[in-house]
Structure formats: structure tokens, C-alpha cells
């Protein structure tokens, strides 16, 4: 199989941009990624476009990628629209990587784009409902207050169970949120740009117990894009290739207490593909749609033993200057969470970390980096999980 | 690259099944395909699920495939949701084929599933609107009568231009519809099961000039599934492998009169991949969402010269017993058009044709077969086109 290399990245700021449409967001990220790779748009042989909720929010379904690419004259090529909840663009990256591995293309585009904000906020909240089994979880949808995403209700229930089992406290959650907002304040693309103290997190407005607003990712518009190349083609573009060492997608299934979650399973599979373990990874971007999810990811990805995530954040191991930095970008909580773009947003951050161009949020000496994201819900289990490992 | 083989097929009847949900339709097709292949569900290593409008119609977005597969205990594996208008499941087949070519899997599932009917018919018609550039074609959406799909307005305008240019008449369109309904009457899975004469087609209710109802594909629910294997793995299951000789997806772009359409481009590319031309193809399934599209496909796929499609149908060359049989299944007009399932519905028909199990609609001595479908619209050009070639 051919090796897969990331040659270019580009992203928009993440935020609330009521006036920007899907095409404008997507095109900004694409043009930046092409420019970063140093390839003209004619070099792109196929495009893989991840999007989750824009269909509901904007009415643009069925041919989202074609509409975006055509508006900048990128027609004629194969274009695939991938929908996999919050892992949509990670899934797009996976499928693009497979096509290069198969030798089908030398240079392709991966785009994650999301238009979530709407003048009527209930439209946005409605869009989340498609991320659960709508027949089975009708009760959840009917009970929805339409004041926040139903996913926060699910995350909160999961967090309460987790806290009961492990002794993780609300202060641990606040430490995660404070760390991420402080990291995010160094990220020019972040939606929330202010450093936040632990006390400010704790004293903020409650969304669903135990979460205050700063412990939850915001509603965001945004896009991120990547130019993916075969190793051979990449030689024309860069002498410092960044390889996709693993790109694994799995789906959730019923599991009992003590059995591995889909995130844990996906992480294990990715470590195996990359022939590496958590000890070799220098920096992580994880799916902190809520602060509790970051703590659980510490355990699921093997940064610490089960039940020890609270200790890990207390010891500041996952701070930028710690031994295992997590979410230097600010994570979903501070950088923003335009769900179909989030997976590639993580990848863009990790590429800058490996390149050493991450500015004041730079982690020292990054050779290998891991992105984890997940989305959709069956009960308290994610419907889909993605783990991507990049290396120098 | 590894060769790709179809080892099992399964489909539901296509029709109006208000009482059947997405899970029920999908699962019926999956269980039949697994049974046909002779593999247990545990053998499936990944799933590629094409769906187009069920998000709008049922509210199930984001994790459509995961929801369907989980309901029959198929969790844990990688699952990808592919949306590419009427070519959604052809695109899913393409991506699954690439994964097998790359050596990633030996046995995967491809599903096309669509739930279109709704007690409120305007919901269904609304769903089609996502298949055009919703910003650019707002005028078309606003002018929509909500009495039929906006696509029929576009197809009708394209048909009128085509008829003016080529001399194709309304009677030629009626011959296509009559042929397809007569073929469909021999198909136990078809939505419209009555043979229809040319006169009956012409005297039927007008939908949009020049189309009467029988010249248009109906609104349908349905699902079709395929078990796809590496050639090596397929040896355990069958000694009569059917190979995917080509699976090409392209997107539409602006083109001037006389320049090739995206369907023509896709056909040419597929012939090149399969090292074959139209003369080697024994049977075709083409995307006759309206009767005019079948006539245009004759030309675009090289069954005749440009401007000669009317002559071809007059000479009955494309009838089941003709030299170039097209749509023995009844096509979209008679078999039905559950749009995300249509591409794999064509594949299921062609596999039975190659196997020689197509019953009274069997084409004699089929060694190589071609499926063409297309979807979404930019002006009068399809946004996406797919051509798949199968061979013994």
C-alpha cells in the first residue's frame, strides 16, 4: 500500500458567522489548503467532503461537496459526501487515504465544513436530533428543551455516571475547561479567545448539571481542509512529509460496564496500525464536546489507567508544557465545534504542531500526534469514533 | 490492486410502503444479500451506506447506516454514510471497491436505502430541493408547485431542448416508457407491475410537458444491498465470480453545447478502466428518471451516434430481445426510484442477468453489463454521474 502524506492544510476561523454560507466557508478553507500545499486546483483528482448538519440548517443536502467545489470551478472530478456525525471529516480523511493507498490518486482534497448557526436557534438544536436513533430515542427528542443540543443531556448523564464511578469532581471538569480556554486564547482561529480561570468556569451559567457553559463546546460555523498526497507525489511538494500513520473509524455497539468503549477500541486499533502506543505520542487533540469527554479520553487512549484521569489533570500532565499535552488548540470547548469540520480542525492543529509552527501554543519536539473524535449516540455510547495518528 | 467481486445481492420490493421505516427496509436487503452470499453477518468487516433523502423525510440524519446496522446487531465495524443524490449507493459501491482494492478488507457490505414516502407528500417533494444548489437555484425552488419533484421540471426543460435539437418525439419517449413498463411487469420487485402500451403512456396524465406520468419515475421506498469481496476471499464462496470491472464517479461542471456531458465523460472513463467499449456490453441499466434520460444515455454511452437515439428505440434495439437491451428490470420508471437505493438496484438486476437467473426478463448470454446513474442538478447538467461495469 502507498504511504499517505498531508501536504497542505487550511482552515477558517471557527465561530458564529450568520452571514457566511456553506460555500464561502468551504472555499476559504480549500483555497488556504491548496495555497499551503503549493498546488493549483487542477492538481486535485478527487474530493472527499465531510458535513453533518448543514442539510437541516441550510437546506443543502445530497450534493453538498459538488455545490461548494463547483463555485470555485472545481468540477469534473469524483466528489464524495460523507456524513458520520461529529466524525464526518475524519471519515472523509479515512476514505481519501484509502484511495491513495489503493493507488487510485496522487493528490486529493479532504474538506470538513459545517454551517450550524441559524437566526432561529431551534433549527440548530433540531439538527442534532438526527444524530441519535430517531425511532428508538423519540422520548429524548420529545423531552428536548430546545435550549441546548440533546447531546449535552446525554453527555451530562454519562458524566454523572463517570463521576460517581471514578471520584472525578466538578473541579476536575473545570480544570479541563480552564486549560482548554487558556490554550484557545493562543489560537487565532478559536471561537472563544479569552483565558478562563477554574473559578470562572465553575461560576458560569449551568447548561445541564454538572456542566456549566464553559464545559460545553459552543455552536460553530467553520471549515477545515487538507491536501492529501501519495508519498511519491509529496516529494515534489515538500522535503518534510507528515504521514498519516493510522486512520481508523469504528462504530459503537452495545457494551456492558467494564467492556471497552468504541473510543478505546478505535484507539487500540489505530495504535496497532501505526505500530505505536500512547507513550510515543507527543501531543493529542481529543473530542471534548464536553469537558468530561476529555477526561474519559485520557483513559480510553491510554494516557493513564482507568479511574486516574482526575489525577492526570490535577498534575497538569495534559497542559501544553506537561508530559502529555492534550488539546493545545483549545479543543472543541474553546476552538469551537463545527461538527462536520471538527475532525479536520484537529488534523490542521496537529500538522502545525508537527511542523513547529503552532506559535505560543507550540508543544516542544512533536514527532507523532494523535487526533480522536467521535459522534452520534446510542444510549450512552458513541455511534462512531475516529482516531488518526500523524507522524514526521 | 486486488480484484473486486460481488458475492451476494439482496433487495426489497420497490414501492410505497408508508408503514416501513428505514431500518426495516435496510435490514431486509442486508439479510437477503448475506444469505445470497452465504456469509454470516460476522464476516462483514466494514459497511458503506448510500442514502439521499431519508434525513429530510424521517429525521434520521448523521448516523443512518449505524442505526440500521445496529438494529440487527452489526456494530463495531467501520460504517460510512455516503450521500451523492441519486448516485449515493453507486458512490458507496465505489468507495467499498477501493477499500478492497487497497487490501484493507476481504468482505464488506454496501447498502443503498431510501425512505421517500411520507403521509404529507410535500415533505417528499421538499426533500428533492436539497439536490440543487439551493442558493443559486432559489428561483426554481420558489416556483415549485409541490405537486411533483423539482427534478421533473429540470428534466422536462432538458427534454424539450433535446427534442428540438434531435427530432426525438413524444412518441419516442412513450416507446421508452412502454418498453420499460413491459419489462417491469416481469420483475417481481417492481413498483409498477402492469405492461403499458405506447398509447396508454401518451394518453396518461401530464406531469410537466412533454412528460406524462408513465414517463416519470415514481416516488419509492426500497433498499438494495451487495456483499463485496476480494477475489481471493470470493473463491471460498463461489466458483462463478462476478467482477467489478469499473466503478467510476464524476461530478458535473459547466459545459457548452457539443461538449460531453458528465454522463458521457463518466462512461468513457469506465470503458477505459474496464478495457471495453459499448460493443462488448451485453445489457445496460440506465438512469431513466424520465424517459428522455434513457434516450440521451443511448448516445452518451455510445450505443448509437448523437441524434440517433430515436431511431434506436424505433428499431427496438434496446428491447430485451434487441441487440442492446436497456433496462430489462423496468428501469426507474417501472421498477421504481428510491433514489439512494437506485444505483445498487441496478447492480442487483445486472448480477441476476449475468448469473442467468433473471427469469422471463433474462437477456441471452450476458457476460458484461453496465449500470449508469446520475443525480443532482446544476442548471441542466447532472451534479454527479456513476458508471459501473460488471463482468463474468
Of B56, B82, B250, the CB nearest to A82: B82
B62 neighbourhood in chain A, CB within 8 Å: 52-53, 83-85, 130-131, 375-376, 383
Mutual angle of helices B291-300 and B150-166, in 10-degree steps: 50
Name the minimum distance, in Å, from the CA of A141 to any CA of chain B. Answer: 11
pLDDT of amino acid A55 = 92
Residue B247 CA to residue B372 CA, distance in Å, equals 10
B118, B148, B172, B337: the catalytic one is B337
Nearest residue to A383 (alpha-carbon basis) of B73, B42, B76, B43: B76
Whole-angstrom CA distances from B101 to A277, B322, B343 are: 28, 35, 20
A66 neighbourhood in chain B, CB within 8 Å: 251-252, 376, 378, 383-384
Whether A86 is catalytic? yes
Q: Which ranges of B133-230 does DSSP label H, i.e. alpha helix? A: 138-143, 150-166, 170-184, 198-203
Cβ count near B322 (within 10 Å): 15
Residues counted in chain B: 392
Nearest residue to B81 (alpha-carbon basis) of A261, A277, A91: A91
Instruction: Give me the interface pTM, i.e. the ipTM.
Output: 0.98
Q: Which three cell numbers stand for residue A141?
A: 427528542
Name the minimum distance, in Å, from the CA of A116 to any CA of chain B. Answer: 14
Cβ contact A250–B127 (<8 Å): no
Cβ contact B129–A59 (<8 Å): yes
Decide the pairing of beta strands B4-11 and B242-251: antiparallel
Q: State the count of interchain CB pairs (< 8 A) between A and B.
A: 206
**Which helix (H) or strand (E) is B24 found in, with range?**
helix B22-37
Cβ contact A251–B75 (<8 Å): yes
Whether A181 is catalytic? no
pLDDT, tens only, B121-168:
999 999 999 999 999 888 888 888 888 999 999 999 999 999 999 999
pLDDT of amino acid A146 = 86
A250 neighbourhood in chain B, CB within 8 Å: 76-78
Residue B158 CA to residue B153 CA, distance in Å, equals 9
CA-based nearest residue in chain A for residue B92: A80
Question: Where residue B1 falls among pLDDT bands split at 50, 70, 90?
Answer: confident
Of B70, B102, B262, the CB nearest to A253: B70
Residue B365 CA to residue B325 CA, distance in Å, equals 12
Of A52, A61, A70, the CB nearest to B378: A70
DSSP character at residue B32? H
Cβ contact B78–A250 (<8 Å): yes
Residues A276-309 as b/e (b if ≥16 CB within 10 A, e otherwise) read: beeeebbbbbbbbbbbbbbbbbbbbbbbbeeebb
CA-based nearest residue in chain B for residue A141: B59
Of A67, A132, A253, the CB nearest to B76: A253
pLDDT of amino acid B277 = 98
Residues of chain A with pLDDT under 70: none
CA-based nearest residue in chain B for residue A21: B135
Residues counted in chain A: 392
pLDDT of amino acid B250 = 98
Q: Which of A41, A63, A74 to mutate to test the interface with B (most CBs of B within 10 A)?
A: A63
B64 neighbourhood in chain A, CB within 8 Å: 83
Domains recognised in chain A with CATH numbers: 4-119+221-245 (3.40.47.10), 132-218+246-391 (3.40.47.10)
State mean pLDDT over B60-88. Answer: 97
Cβ contact A98–B76 (<8 Å): no
A252 neighbourhood in chain B, CB within 8 Å: 66, 70, 75-76
B8, burial (CB in 10 Å: exposed 0-12, middle 13-18, buried 19+): buried
Cβ contact A62–B375 (<8 Å): yes
Say if CB A232 and CB A130 are below 8 A apart.
no
Residue B256 has pLDDT above 90, yes or no: no
B244 neighbourhood in chain A, CB within 8 Å: none
Nearest residue to A334 (alpha-carbon basis) of A179, A143, A164: A179
Residue B255 has pLDDT above 80, yes or no: no
A7, A86, A107, A304: the catalytic one is A86
pLDDT, tens only, B176-209:
999 999 999 999 999 999 999 999 999 999 999 9
Cβ count near B16 (within 10 Å): 14
State mean pLDDT over B291-298. Answer: 98
The residues that bridge with A385 in the sheet, in sequence order, are A250, A374
B79 neighbourhood in chain A, CB within 8 Å: 84, 249, 251, 384
CA-based nearest residue in chain A for residue B48: A82
pLDDT of amino acid B268 = 98
Q: Which three cell numbers stand for residue B347?
A: 447492480
CA-based nearest residue in chain B for residue A48: B82
Say if CB A283 and CB A275 are below 8 A apart.
no
Amino acid at each position: 500500500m502507498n504511504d499517505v502524506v498531508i501536504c497542505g492544510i487550511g482552515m477558517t476561523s471557527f465561530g458564529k458567522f450568520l452571514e457566511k454560507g456553506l460555500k464561502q466557508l468551504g472555499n476559504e478553507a480549500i483555497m488556504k489548503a491548496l495555497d499551503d500545499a503549493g498546488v493549483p486546483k487542477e492538481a486535485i483528482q478527487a474530493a472527499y467532503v465531510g458535513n453533518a448538519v448543514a442539510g437541516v440548517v441550510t437546506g443543502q443536502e445530497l450534493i453538498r461537496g459538488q455545490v461548494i467545489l463547483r463555485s470555485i470551478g472545481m468540477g469534473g472530478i469524483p466528489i464524495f459526501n460523507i456524513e458520520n456525525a461529529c466524525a464526518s471529516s475524519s471519515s472523509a480523511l479515512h476514505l481519501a487515504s484509502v484511495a491513495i493507498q489503493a493507488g487510485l490518486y496522487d493528490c486529493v482534497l479532504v474538506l470538513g465544513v459545517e454551517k450550524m448557526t441559524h437566526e432561529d436557534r431551534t433549527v440548530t438544536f433540531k439538527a442534532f436530533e438526527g444524530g441519535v436513533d430517531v425511532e428508538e430515542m423519540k422520548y429524548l427528542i420529545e423531552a428536548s428543551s430546545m435550549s441546548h443540543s440533546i447531546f449535552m443531556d446525554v453527555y451530562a448523564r454519562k458524566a454523572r455516571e463517570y463521576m460517581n464511578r471514578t471520584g472525578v469532581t466538578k473541579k476536575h471538569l473545570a480544570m479541563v475547561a480552564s486549560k482548554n480556554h487558556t490554550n484557545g486564547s493562543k489560537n487565532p482561529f478559536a471561537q472563544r479567545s479569552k483565558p478562563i480561570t477554574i473559578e470562572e468556569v465553575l461560576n458560569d451559567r449551568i447548561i445541564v448539571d454538572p456542566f456549566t457553559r464553559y464545559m460545553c463546546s459552543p455552536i460553530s460555523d467553520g471549515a477545515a481542509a487538507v491536501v492529501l498526497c501519495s508519498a511519491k507525489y509529496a516529494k515534489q511538494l515538500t522535503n518534510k512529509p507528515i504521514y498519516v500513520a493510522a486512520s481508523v473509524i469504528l462504530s459503537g455497539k452495545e457494551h456492558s460496564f467494564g467492556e471497552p468503549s468504541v473510543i478505546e477500541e478505535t484507539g487500540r486499533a489505530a495504535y496497532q496500525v501505526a505500530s505505536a502506543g500512547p507513550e510515543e505520542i507527543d501531543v493529542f487533540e481529543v473530542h471534548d464536546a464536553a469537558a468530561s469527554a476529555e477526561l474519559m479520553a485520557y483513559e480510553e487512549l491510554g494516557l493513564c489507567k482507568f479511574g486516574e484521569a482526575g489525577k492526570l489533570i490535577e498534575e497538569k500532565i495534559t497542559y501544553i508544557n506537561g508530559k502529555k499535552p492534550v488539546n493545545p488548540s483549545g479543543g472543541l470547548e474553546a476552538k469551537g465545534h463545527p461538527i462536520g469540520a471538527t475532525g479536520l480542525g484537529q488534523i490542521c492543529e496537529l500538522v502545525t504542531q508537527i511542523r513547529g509552527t503552532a506559535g505560543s501554543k507550540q508543544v516542544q519536539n512533536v514527532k507523532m500526534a494523535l487526533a480522536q473524535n467521535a459522534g452520534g449516540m446510542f444510549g450512552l455510547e458513541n455511534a462512531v469514533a475516529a482516531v488518526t495518528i500523524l507522524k514526521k
